[in-house]
A and B are shown apart, each in its own frame.
Chain A
Amino acid sequence: ELKVEQNPLFLSMQEGKNYTIYCNYSTTSDRLYWYRQDPGKSLESLFVLLSNGAVKQEGRLMASLDTKARLSTLHITAAVHDLSATYFCAVAGGGGSQGNLIFGKGTKLSVKP
C-alpha cells in the first residue's frame, strides 16, 4: 500500500527566510505532484515531477524529485506572506488511472512579516 508522508505538518516562517518541505513515499511511482490549497478553496497544481532528478521552479518555489530515495522536496526561497497556504504532495497510485493520487497530510505554511 502506497503511503505518503510530509513533514513538517505545520510551518511558521518569517518573511525573507528559506525553508524546505519534505515528501516521502513508500513504493515506486512514476509521478509526483505538488498542490497548493488556500483555506476553503480547491487544489492548485504547482508542479508535476515525472523523472528522477527532475527539478522545477516557479517564482520562489522549487520542487525536486529523487525516485531512488522516494523523496521530493519543495523549497521556499525568501518567503513572502502570499505563500501562506497548505501545500500537499501527491503520488500517483498506479494502475491504469492517471489521477488515482495518494495525498500527504499537507504542510500548513504561515509566513509572518
Chain B
Amino acid sequence: EPEVTQTPSHQVTQMGQEVILRCVPISNHLYFYWYRQILGQKVEFLVSFYNNEISEKSEIFDDQFSVERPDGSNFTLKIRSTKLEDSAMYFCASSGQGTMNTEAFFGQGTRLTVV
C-alpha cells in the first residue's frame, strides 16, 4: 500500500541551527502539506504546496520556515534558525490524484527536539 515516508524519525538540534525535514509523498499525489503537533496538543496546519508553489500557509509558518520540492519525489521543510518552541512532531501529508475530494494521508512524523 502506498504511504508517505518521512526522514529522520527523530532529530535533535541545538537552538539556532537549521534543520531540514524530509518527506516522500505518495506517488502521483498533487498536494503536499506539513503539519505539526506539539506534545499532547492538537495537530496544526503549517503549509500546503501545489504545482510547485505554496497554496496556503498558516500564521505559524513565518519567515523561519520554507518548503521545497527539489526533485520529483522529495518534499522538504526547512527551519532556518530553530527555537525551543519549534520542538514538536512534524507530519508530512499528501493528497489528490487529480480529483477534488480525496483525503490527506499522513506520514509517520519526525520528532524534532530543540535543545
Contacts from A to B (Cβ < 8 Å): 30-31, 33, 35, 41-43, 45, 48, 50, 88, 90, 93, 95-106
Residues of B within 8 A of A93 (CB): 45, 56
Of residues A31, A41, A88, A97, which shows the largest number of chain B Cβ atoms within 10 Å of its Cβ? A97
Q: Which of A41, A99, A103 contacts B33 (CB 8 A)?
A: A99
Residues of A within 8 A of B96 (CB): 98-99
Q: Which of B45, B101, B104 contacts A102 (CB 8 A)?
A: B45
Write out, one digit per residue, whether chain B residues 33-47 have a CB within 8 A of any chain A CB (1) or not (0).
Answer: 101000001111100
CB–CB B103/A97 < 8 A: no
CB–CB A101/B42 < 8 A: no
Write out, one digit per residue, whether chain B residues 91-110 have a CB within 8 A of any chain A CB (1) or not (0).
Answer: 10111100011111111110
CB–CB B55/A97 < 8 A: yes
Residue of A nearest to B106 (CB): A43
Residue of B nearest to A48 (CB): B103
A94 to B31, CA, bound (A): 14
Residues of A within 8 A of B56 (CB): 93, 95-97, 100
Residue of A nearest to B33 (CB): A99
Residue of B nearest to A44 (CB): B106
Sampled A-B contacts (10; CB under 8 Å) = A43-B43, A45-B104, A90-B43, A93-B56, A95-B55, A97-B48, A98-B31, A98-B95, A98-B101, A100-B56
